[in-house]
Chain A
């Protein structure tokens, strides 16, 4: 039996005196698309940020492809593509293409493949026409699409998507869903966070619900 792509054991996370995640235990198999749904403040983003090594667990263990998120953060980061919920994580004075090229270079994408990879993603996500516009002039929906493209820059085997469709219109949702599905074919694992039930039903191979930091 193969190792799960993501393994979470008795994960608890507190902020000050407030417990956000309580004793979460969960496995995500390779190739699986797990949708984590829950109301605002239920702990979805905290869970994803721990998987992305942005936060440390207060207790419990979390591994991604066998790498511990605390002890082997660098190995985990090289295995994931992450689209955070905040769309302010770009350089506003740079244009969309420059931003993606910058992140691709920082992620270690080969220089010979970098421009083509960025151009392909911008085209598929519907931002080819706005590639030379500064990100400060982008709408929230355009930034959300750019964030999805950034998560797909490397062929990371694990995708972490935090409400990636939140600001997208119907057409944007469809193209984003198509792009992620196309890039997700094969053995790529995805953890997708949303509070939209219809979105969860249409995307998931499995759905987990977070309520007040407890997995149902």
Chain B
């Protein structure tokens, strides 16, 4: 079980590091999430 959790953590960090290497893309994604959250907050 701990081996499976370790691998999950490793692969998550791998994907995060790869995503972070695309700087513009990750910035647009963060802005998109913030706009979505703000829109949800004001419309609800």
A residues contacting B by CB (< 8 A) are 91, 93-94, 98, 102, 105-106, 108, 134
* Chain B residues bordering chain A, tally (CB within 8 A): 11
Within 8 A of A (CB), among B1-27: 3, 6-7, 9-10, 13-14, 17-18, 21-22
24 A-B residue pairs with CB within 8 Å: A91-B14, A91-B18, A93-B17, A93-B18, A93-B21, A93-B22, A94-B14, A94-B17, A94-B18, A94-B21, A98-B17, A102-B10, A102-B13, A102-B14, A102-B17, A105-B6, A105-B9, A105-B10, A105-B13, A106-B7, A106-B10, A108-B3, A108-B6, A134-B21
Complex Cα spacing A105 to B10, Å: 7
Secondary structure type dominating chain A contacts: mixed
Q: Which residues of A contact B22 (CB under 8 A)?
A: 93
Closest 3 CB pairs of A and B: A93-B21, A105-B10, A93-B18
Q: Which residues of B contact A106 (CB under 8 A)?
A: 7, 10
Complex Cα spacing A91 to B10, Å: 13
Complex Cα spacing A178 to B25, Å: 43
Complex Cα spacing A157 to B6, Å: 23
Q: Which residues of B contact A98 (CB under 8 A)?
A: 17
Q: Which residue of A lies closest to B7 (CB)?
A: A106
Q: Which residues of B contact A108 (CB under 8 A)?
A: 3, 6
Q: Which residues of B contact A102 (CB under 8 A)?
A: 10, 13-14, 17
